[in-house]
Amino acid sequence: MVNARVSFCFVALVVVAVLSCQGVESAVPLQVGYYSNSCPDAETIVLETLQRLIDEDPEEGPGIPATLLRLHFHDCFVRGCDASVLLDVPKSEKTAPPNARLLGFEAVDAIKSALEEKCPGVVSCADILAFAARDSVSITFGPDYAVPSGRRDGNVSIASEASKFLPDAQSNVTQLVANFANQGLSKEEMVVLSGAHTIGDAACHHVDSRIYNYPSKDGVDPNIPADYAKKLKKKCRERGLKTRTFDLDFTTDLQFDTEYYNNLAVKKGMLVSDQALYTDASTRVMVEKYRKTAAFFDAFAKAMVKMGNIRVLTDTDGQIRTNCRAVNK
C-alpha cells in the first residue's frame, strides 16, 4: 500500500497545481505529507483504526468504507470540505433530509480519538474525512492515492444548505451537471465520482418511482429488466420504505470496481440519477470509457483529490476541533 501511495503522489500534486489556477482551493494550498513533522503517523493511524473497526464487526464492519466515502462527499458539497457535516448543533447538516441515512459518525469518532491520543489538537476532522475516504476506497480494492492535507474545520452547519446543494437521486443529467458545476466539477468528473456507487446501498423509497409509481400499466419502469424488477420488489416490499435498503451495485457491492458502470450498460442502475448517465448520449460515452478498470481508477483518484479541495479552510481560518461533533469552546 505504501508503494501505491508514492506512485499516486505525482498525480495528486499535478491536480493541486491545476486547482490553484481554477480558484477551487483557498489561498494556502493543501500539501501531501502536511503532517510529516507535526504528526508523522497520522495517516497510518487513520488506516489502521479504520481496518480495526471493519475487522471487529463482521456483520456491519464491511459496510463502513461506503459510509465514510459518502460522508466525505456530503461534507464537501456543503460549505466545502470543512467537516461541517459532523457537527451536532440544532438544525445541522446531518438533520437535513438528504442526510437522513448518513452513517459513519462513530467511525470518525474512533479515528479522532486515536489521533488525539497520539497528537492532541493537530489533525483536523476535515482531513480525517479525506484520509478515511481514500482508505475506504483502497481497502475495498480500489485505487490508493496521495491526499493533500492541511484542511481546518468549520464552525457552522446548516440543514437548509445540505438540502440545497446535495444532488437528488431523481436528478437527470442536466440537473447533475449543474449541481456538480456549482462545486467546480466537470460533467466527466460527475460521471467519475458517481462511480463511488460501486459500493454501498440506498433506501428503498428512492426506487418507488421506478418499481411502483412509474406511469405504466403495472407501475414498473419498462426499461428495468423484468427479472431485476421482480428482485427489487421482493427486496423493497412496499412503497415508501426508508428502513430497508438495496445494494447500488448488485454484483460486487463490497468491492470497489467498475461493475457500477457495467450495471448501467444493462439497465440495472437503480437510482434515476445513476441510470440517467447511460440513457443520456452525452454521458453514455463516458460510462463506456470507465468500464475499463485502469481508466476509472486513475480518473477517480484525480477527481477525489479535486473534490477534496472544494472551498477548504486553511492557515488561520476555522479551527482544529478536538471533538469532531462540536466546535471548540
Annotated binding residue 135: no
- Residue 18, H or E segment: helix 2-22
Annotated binding residue 82: yes
> Given the C-alpha cell 446531518, which residue does it identify?
94
**183: how many CB neighbours lie within 10 A of its CB?**
20
Annotated binding residue 218: no
Annotated binding residue 93: yes
Sign of CA dihedral 320, 324, 327, 329: negative
**Gap between the Cα atoms of 42 and 151, Å rounded:** 14
Residue 283 buriedness (CB in 10 A; 0-12 / 13-18 / 19+): buried
Percentages (nearest 5) of helix, strand, coil residues in the chain: 55, 5, 45
Annotated binding residue 80: yes
Annotated binding residue 60: no
Give CA angle at 310 (305, 311), nearest 5°. Answer: 145
Annotated binding residue 252: yes
Beta bridge partners of 323: 326
Give start and end residues of each alpha helix (H) in 79-207.
Answer: 105-118, 125-139, 159-165, 173-181, 187-194
As annotated, the active-site residues are 74
Annotated binding residue 205: no
Annotated binding site for substrate: 167
Annotated binding site: 75, 78, 80, 82, 84, 93, 167, 197-198, 249, 252, 257
Annotated binding site for Ca(2+): 75, 78, 80, 82, 84, 93, 198, 249, 252, 257
Annotated binding site for heme b: 197
